[in-house]
Amino acid sequence: MRERLGAPTAEWPQDDGGATWEYTRQPEGTRCWMLTLDARGVLQKIEQALTEENFARIETGWSAERVRRLLGRPASEMEFPLKPEVVWDWRIEPALPGQRAWFHVHFSPDGFVTGTSRREESPGGG
């Protein structure tokens, strides 16, 4: 698989000796593929990580690492020192054709989820 897809963005070890390989298309793409391999390196499943189901799973108090393992590498990270918070965002499929959309996860300064949000805009910025 590495020969065909290249090196993964990240490799996440599994408790059973297997691993999940992350292949993100961020920052401009709207997909992040997670390939799960068993302990022998045999591909078990391929999943798109940036789904409504996964967004809904994120809860207040989750660690940044847990979010990263679920959604993959974000498109960007922004720090807001006056709030204070850090926001990660992923470009996602928009609700309407011709728009752009982002899913955001908000973290406290110590790296735990405080909430999520989303933003959609037309290509002109409005």
pLDDT tens by residue, 96-117: 888 999 999 999 999 999 999 9
The residues that bridge with 9 in the sheet, in sequence order, are: none
Q: In this structure, are residues 58 and 105 in contact, taking their beta carbons and an 8 Å threshold?
A: yes
Cα 123 from chain centroid (whole Å): 22
Which candidate, 77, 76, 20, 28, places its Cα nearest to that of 49? 20
Is 104 within a domain? yes
Is 76 within a domain? yes
- Per residue in 49-59, pLDDT (tens digit) is 999 999 999 99
Say which amino acid occupies 91: R
Q: What is the domain range of residue 55? A: 2-121
The residues that bridge with 102 in the sheet, in sequence order, are: 91, 119
Check which CATH number belongs to the domain holding 94 and give it: 3.30.1450.10
- Per residue in 7-26, pLDDT (tens digit) is 999 999 999 999 999 999 99
> Span 43-69, mean pLDDT?
97
Token match 């207040």: residue? 60
Domain count, the chain: 1
Is 89 within a domain? yes
> Span 27-35, mean pLDDT?
95
Is 126 within a domain? no
- Give the predicted TM-score (pTM) of the model: 0.90
